[in-house]
Amino acid sequence: MNWAKPEMPLPKVVDIIGLNYQGEGVRFGDAYADLTGYRCAPQYTAFRKAFPQKMIISTETAAAVSTRGTYLFPVYEGVSAPVKDGLGGDPQTGYVSAYELYTAPFGSSADRVFATLDSHPFVAGEFVWSGWDYLGEPTPYYSSRSSYFGIIDLAGFKKDRFYLYQSRWRPNLPMVHILPHWTWPERVGLVTPVHVFTTGDEVELFLNGRSLGRKKKGPLEYRLRWEDVVYEPGVLEAVAYRNGSLWARTEVRTAGAPVAVKLEPDRKVIVADGKDLCFVTVRVVDQNGITVPRAANRLEFELQGPGVIVATDNGDPTSYESFKSHERAAFNGLCLAIVRGLKNQPGTLILRVRSSGLEPAQVKIRTVAPASHPR
């Protein structure tokens, strides 16, 4: 139900109350006050009061938007705001900031949804709009090819929001995640906010070995924020604790200039049945093997052996390049190639990727007869 209220006829006849966005409110809160269109305050309590014996579930939540690996400044100081030009959105590039605070006009950030659900424990749970980016509905930049709603981009690469959901949905997984990347030559000396997602309850942040403070999650708080970090190149490290004990740690390092291509197949043996696929991640890396987070080098793909390149992609929502193209630019350091073996022609496939000025790379993928590869 997108619009229904407890006093309307429909909620009286359904077995389960399924609410789209209304649980946390639509165009609700100060950041959304200047928007036109349908709005409502959070509705969970009203529906619970009217139908105390019915299950309530959020059948669509969030509608948060972002572009993988893209970070725009300034950063909103609250937890949820509608994306606007200059606040989370860049109309010149068609990208939306991956600080994961911005939403469609009717939506809410993951943080705000989590807080609403935790404040209403009688709600059974949520379905997030959406798991992946998809073709069409490119809110807020309608000249783009694909949506910005996904937890994962169109090429299957994880956005930062993936780790925010992971920190909630897998509470016993030791994990900590830092954003943004730490390669900002134009921001030396400028404040560059750092946010951390973790299943721990405390995090200490270090920049080049210096502690920037230890922070603990408060009630209904799902990220830790260091808003006054002044950028300098080097190593940004987050050390997470749980119940006072070391829980997880991670770091991001400043990348140098792109020097090479690195290939990472999801597996090196597939079935020669004309259907089985190998997904190869292509990274543009520096001399130390660090992914260059804003690299956009043009890549050329070539396959040798009994197989075909099914598609390439990079997750760029503004790109209209054909998925069948064997040439494509990396997007924020990454690209994807999907390879398939020919039916009943087992053998060895060699995928080669080249880019002008970069050291090329290749990977071997073996295709085997179906009988020798049980699924």
Query: Containing H/E element for 110?
Result: helix 110-119
Give the β-pairing of 260-265 and 277-285.
antiparallel
CA distance readout (Å), 268 to 205, 264, 278, 368: 38, 9, 8, 11
Pair (163, 15) in one structural domain? yes
pLDDT of residue 370: 87
Summarize pLDDT for 223-271 with one digit per residue, the tens: 999 999 999 999 999 999 999 999 999 999 999 999 999 999 999 999 9
Rounded to whole angstroms, how far apart are CA atoms 100 and 110?
A: 8
Residue 5 lies in a domain: no
CA angle 259, 253, 239 (to 5 degrees): 155
Residue 204 lies in a domain: yes
Domain's final residue, options 150, 169, 188 = 169
DSSP string, 127-191: EEE-SB--BS--TT-TTSSB-S--SB-TTSPBPHHHHHHHHHH-TTS--EEEES-S--GGGTTSB
Rounded to whole angstroms, how far apart are CA atoms 323 and 368?
A: 26
DSSP string, 208-241: TTEEEEEEE--TT---EEETTPBP-SSEEEEEEE
CA distance readout (Å), 6 to 9, 114, 122, 152: 8, 23, 16, 34
Pair (55, 149) in one structural domain? yes
Domain's final residue, options 253, 279, 309 = 253
Pair (105, 206) in one structural domain? no
Residue 96 lies in a domain: yes
Rounded to whole angstroms, how far apart are CA atoms 295 and 120?
A: 44
Residue 4 lies in a domain: no
For residue 300, which phi and psi values (nearest 5 degrees)?
Answer: -120, 130
Summarize pLDDT for 174-202 with one digit per residue, the tens: 999 999 999 999 999 999 999 999 999 99
Contact 349, 365 (CB under 8 A): yes
Pair (26, 164) in one structural domain? yes
Pair (188, 300) in one structural domain? no
Pair (237, 361) in one structural domain? no
Phi-psi region of 124 (alpha: psi -120 to 50; beta: other; left: phi over 0): alpha
Pair (287, 165) in one structural domain? no
Residue 2 lies in a domain: no
Residue 375 lies in a domain: no
Based on the structure, what is the number of domains in the chain? Answer: 3
Residue 1 lies in a domain: no
Contact 339, 310 (CB under 8 A): yes
Summarize pLDDT for 289-304 with one digit per residue, the tens: 999 999 999 999 999 9
Neighbour tally for 244: CB within 10 Å: 8
pLDDT of residue 371: 77
Domain's final residue, options 210, 235, 253 = 253
The three-class DSSP label of residue 48 is helix
Pair (19, 164) in one structural domain? yes
Please give the model's pTM, rounded to 2 decimal places: 0.95
CATH code: domain of residue 49: 3.20.20.80
- What one-character DSSP code corresponds to residue 291? B
Pair (43, 147) in one structural domain? yes
CA within 13 Å, CB half, 371? 2
Pair (275, 355) in one structural domain? yes
CATH code: domain of residue 299: 2.60.40.10
Pair (180, 316) in one structural domain? no
From the list 267, 258, 354, the residue with the least C-alpha distance to 302 is 354
Q: Which domain holds residue 321?
A: 260-370
151 Cβ partners below 8 Å, 6+ apart? Answer: 128, 130, 131, 132, 158, 159, 161, 162, 165
Q: Check whether 368 has a pLDDT greater than 80.
A: yes
Pair (265, 235) in one structural domain? no
Q: Check whether 374 has a pLDDT greater than 60.
A: no
pLDDT (mean) for 87-114: 97
Residue 99 lies in a domain: yes
